[in-house]
Structure 1
Amino acid sequence: MNLLPKSTADFGSTEYWNSFFRKRGKQAFEWYGEYPELCTQLHQYIKPKDEILVVGCGNSKLSMDLYDVGFKKITNIDISPVVIKQMQEANRLNRPEMTWNQMDATAMTFPNETFSVVLDKGTLDALFTDESTSVVTMVRNYFAEIGRVLRPAGRYVCISLLQEHILREVVSHFPAAHFMLRIVRCPEAGKGRGTEDAPNADGSSLLVFAIVATKLKNMPLRVLEVGLAGSHIERVQRPEEIIAAVAATQKAAMVCNGLARGSIAGMAEVSLDLFSPTDKERPRYTIHVLDQAPKRGNGKYAAFIVPQGRETEWLFATPAGRRKLQESAKFDRLAIVTLHRGHVYTDLEAVKAELAESVKSLAPTTSVAGRIDTVPLDRCGSRPPGNDPHPAAANCP
């Protein structure tokens, strides 16, 4: 079923969305995740007492799910009269307090300061299709309307993929308009959405973010915050720091998606540095990912954690040594993890727990889901004799 636009310009077309929702019927179209995947971020920034405006609601179940868990003051708008009629009919009996209006989010008819939250899931991305003058003007009108209908201390909560041109406009507009700006990652959203319900038909996961812009009456200093690693929120001084942090996270996700989709057997290993949220200057771990041609009897995927103090040995410190290690470990894919000096590591179990999500994100799609094996030391090999001034030190016990 071809439901996605043939060109990005179609995203802004009322005719496209009317046709889209007629084809889709009653089946919900959940871009970037559903309520269970977004609820952590939504409940942090939206409260049941809020007056909520959902812009570009489509036929998403998000506002219905919010209503069902106690968020009763919800108004939904969409440019498509077709979907508004569908949603009115679907919710008239079970959700009588929720309202649905056909309206253009770039020219709303609500009075000033009507809402305490404006919730946007994918609408900004659908509007901001390119950087043409007409599109940028439309997006700026949209942002101005958000600022107009929000009360002081109200929040614009936007779920977005944050393409670079979108992020640049966000970090330019909202601080200048006296909004406190925070960008956080939604780690559960977008996973495994390579289906008809997502723009990425290659099977990769989407990297999803939440823009949280809080309207303030007077803000003498800009407040810029970013949270891309768990619950840690970092305050930064310049918009460029947010752009760089998001770009680094997106590039890492591209690597993980590439590794999930295919093998790099016969190619150079892929190396990634992992940093602690509180120390971005010194990597805490380095992971080298190696693939080899599948062999009968090999496991699919495992991780090997280099013992502290041995990271400079040939077997662990060189590409040839790591290839030897993989062959000895007998796994089609091996993630070799090096611990860096200058950090504190409690014990091996704590290291495994800290690495679990990162190691899992590097797994091929052919591996069995769940716990990732950790290769014990007695399965690793040794450096060819005669090439090490201390050959005994290179042998694994």
Structure 2
Amino acid sequence: MEFAQPEYWNSFFTKRGEKAFEWYGEYLELCEQIHKYVKYTDQILMLGCGNSQLSMEMYDSGFRNITNIDISTVAIRKMLDLNGEKRPGMTYLQMDATQMTFEDDHFSVALDKGTLDALFVDDTPEVQATVERYFNEIKRTMRNGGRYLCITLLQEHILRYILNYFPRNGFMLRVVHCTDADRANQEKNADNPDVGAMPVFIVVATKFKALPTPILEFSLGKDKMQRVQNAEELTNAVTAVQKAALICNGLARTSIAGHKEVVMDLCQPGDSKPRYTVYILDQPPARGLGKFAAFIVPQGREIEWLFATTKGREKLQSSAKYQRLAVVTLHRDQTYLSLDSVRAELADSIKCLAPIGLTEQIPFLSIAADVGKRQTLVSGFSQISGEFRIEEVEGAEGKVFRRLIFLSNQFVIQSEALVKTIKLKGKKERKKIDFGYLACQHHLYMSAGVQLITGPKNNPNELKDVVVVGLGGGGLCSFLHAAVPNVRLTAVEIDPIMLEVAEQYFELKQDNRFHVVIDDGLAFLDVCKREEIKFSAVLFDVDSKDSSLGMSCPPKSFLEPAVLENIMSIIGDKGLFILNLVCRDEVLRDEALVQLRAAFKSVCCYKLDEEINEVIYCSNNEKYKSIEEWKKDLGAAARRLNTATREKKLYDDDMLEVTEFLNDLKM
């Protein structure tokens, strides 16, 4: 209780001398919020003024009706000596704020800068009784419509008591995060990280005769005020700011260059769904690098490699040329009016991530002039994959992409197609899927393997049977159907909803060279072996629904010895098994390769640059004993594929860079 005793403060101010005690921000950092709630004509009560300069600076700014009270006679005497002649009319009184002698309804504003925190040192009944008297006196001396402004650190027990007292007594309650004060605190307390880590809030309690229901609001700073439903939501919002402040305090003082990036979700008060995700990266200082910038990713593009992966964001930072870069992504099911409105909404949050000492304005970068476009065409549900969306987003150069997204893993594109707008003479414009566009680069190298088994002549009268396990939106199958005329495709898809999606939204068409079987892929292969159905190639392009495993594609069960034995039987000695392997766990990857090498006489791998996908070619053909034979045949197949895509006007140039492909092939 020493903190709340007159003797403590007398001693404190005697030792402090002339130096002002501006521990919760100075007028410059607080004035924006003060001016929102205090008018020049208001009768203002400064509670526990101490030797703070706040009332002096308010007086100099035009607020002349200020009465200052403090329990310390030393503080009052010093402030009278300092202001008696300079600021006539400003009153200083020695008074206990829990036993004030003013008349009822005397003031229209009561301003408290740290006084409540000084009183509310713990949560004991004795202290609570003191705070209750303090609040009762504020309520008694305040007019209806008057405002109690409390600048506070909002410790848990203080916030809990405020949320109990003021709504119960007919006050509307607002809590505002003072980001300018936080920033100034960090600068002033650079050598004392604990002080700088405590965020400052202004509580605004407005007195009414009665309110039918409590009104609780919260603001992250310069953002618009957000209404919250209950005390728990407001508590969660404050707690989130306090937790974030600890992270921001560390970022302000320390570079994380050479360490993992820091990731933060930003939510609106009362909403648990993230509105923004911010990735903070540092690189060592170097000549030509700026200090700090934010990069706003247009909505819909957050799942591109450059923005969705750590390596991609590191490359973005290198190109942007800033020591610290905050990469901001926007979330679906949120509304963003414009790039300018997003910048304004993020300004305070981004400022909190800046290194100490930064004085220049923080630039906001982007790759587009607007916030981007994302249109949801359909929302659906699959018993197997859960909720999904079909979206159209605008990408680079104004290109429109149609995407299938599973909400269980919404940062991964399940299927993507390029949408072209065509106009026939005398008819309206219509959208058409471009089958020459392959969003997944591994599909291109799987297609080269399919081209290999067709032979050098591409004779459309000699159809090779190929089975693809995993349909998705049908992008790979539609491309193979268009580019390689001498194959007869069978796609096996376990989820009937995916077939509907592929046909309705990705223009998948079945004919005499392509049909879809709705079945479990492993069960289908088992039947094929039993019934001695042969295929020239088996392709696995199927993902695992268990995200906890280190192997995303295929599911681990798809590489069991019994499954590989079925595939060997189906493709025979001359066929090809082509696998899209996505494995972040090196141990699991090595195990997968051991299983494949145990089953097949020859295994050849191509690792995609800047991706974790590997295309694995497996065969029991005696021909492929060396990497040179693989390179010879895959090189010829790749060149034939390039020729076919140009001739069929699927692509203007070579789709596949043959030399680079062959150089990176490994057995």
1:178 maps to 2:197: no
Q: CA RMSD in A?
A: 3.5
Structure-2 separation of matches of 1:351 and 1:110: 47
Deviation for aligned residue 1:343: 4.8
Deviation for aligned residue 1:89: 1.6
Deviation for aligned residue 1:389: 7.6
Q: Which residue of 1 aligns with 2:63?
A: 71
Structure-1 separation of matches of 2:248 and 2:21: 26
The answer as to whether partners of 1:300 and 1:366 remain within 8 angstroms in 2 is: no
> Which range moved further: 309-318 or 166-175?
309-318
User: Normalising by the residue count of structure 2, what TM-score does the alignment of the two structures yield?
Assistant: 0.51
Q: Which residue of 2 aligns with 1:338?
A: 329
CA gap 1:25/1:386 in 2 versus in 1, 3 angstroms: closer
Q: Which residue of 2 aligns with 1:53?
A: 45
Q: Which residue of 1 aligns with 2:126?
A: 134
1:264 maps to 2:256: yes
Gaps (5+ residues) in structure 1? 1-8
The answer as to whether partners of 1:31 and 1:198 remain within 8 angstroms in 2 is: no
Which of 200, 217, 220 is matched with 2:209 structurally? Answer: 217
Deviation for aligned residue 1:283: 3.4
Which of 30, 43, 47 is matched with 2:35 structurally? Answer: 43
Aligned length: 380
Structure-2 separation of matches of 1:75 and 1:367: 38
Which of 609, 628, 632 is matched with 1:384 structurally? Answer: 609
The 5-angstrom pairing of residues 150-161 of structure 1 reads: 150-161=142-153
CA gap 1:343/1:205 in 2 versus in 1, 3 angstroms: same
Q: Which has the larger radius of gyration?
A: 2
The 5-angstrom pairing of residues 63-102 of structure 1 reads: 63-102=55-94
The answer as to whether partners of 2:193 and 2:249 remain within 8 angstroms in 1 is: no
1:311 maps to 2:302: yes
The answer as to whether partners of 2:257 and 2:284 remain within 8 angstroms in 1 is: yes
AA aligned to 1:268 is K
The answer as to whether partners of 2:297 and 2:367 remain within 8 angstroms in 1 is: no
1:285 alignment partner, SS class: strand
CA gap 1:133/1:349 in 2 versus in 1, 3 angstroms: closer
Q: Which residue of 1 aligns with 2:24?
A: 32
Gaps (5+ residues) in structure 2? 369-440, 442-607, 616-654, 657-667
CA gap 1:233/1:89 in 2 versus in 1, 3 angstroms: same
Percent identity among equivalent residues?
54
Query: Looking at both structures, which has the greater relative contact order when contacts are Cα pairs under 8 Å and sequence separation is at least 6?
Result: 1
CA gap 1:236/1:199 in 2 versus in 1, 3 angstroms: farther
Structure-2 separation of matches of 1:239 and 1:310: 37
Structure-2 separation of matches of 1:229 and 1:389: 47
The answer as to whether partners of 1:187 and 1:208 remain within 8 angstroms in 2 is: yes
Structure-1 separation of matches of 2:297 and 2:133: 54
Structure-2 separation of matches of 1:209 and 1:160: 5
Q: Which residue of 1 aligns with 2:266?
A: 274
The answer as to whether partners of 1:191 and 1:206 remain within 8 angstroms in 2 is: no
Structure-1 separation of matches of 2:337 and 2:170: 44
Structure-2 separation of matches of 1:389 and 1:367: 44
AA aligned to 2:274 is P
Q: Which residue of 2 aligns with 1:287?
A: 278
Which of 120, 135, 146 is matched with 2:138 structurally? Answer: 146
User: Normalising by the residue count of structure 1, what TM-score does the alignment of the two structures yield?
Assistant: 0.82
Structure-1 separation of matches of 2:319 and 2:15: 54
CA gap 1:308/1:130 in 2 versus in 1, 3 angstroms: same
AA aligned to 2:183 is K
AA aligned to 2:106 is T
The answer as to whether partners of 2:110 and 2:142 remain within 8 angstroms in 1 is: yes
Structure (1/2) with the larger strand percentage: 2
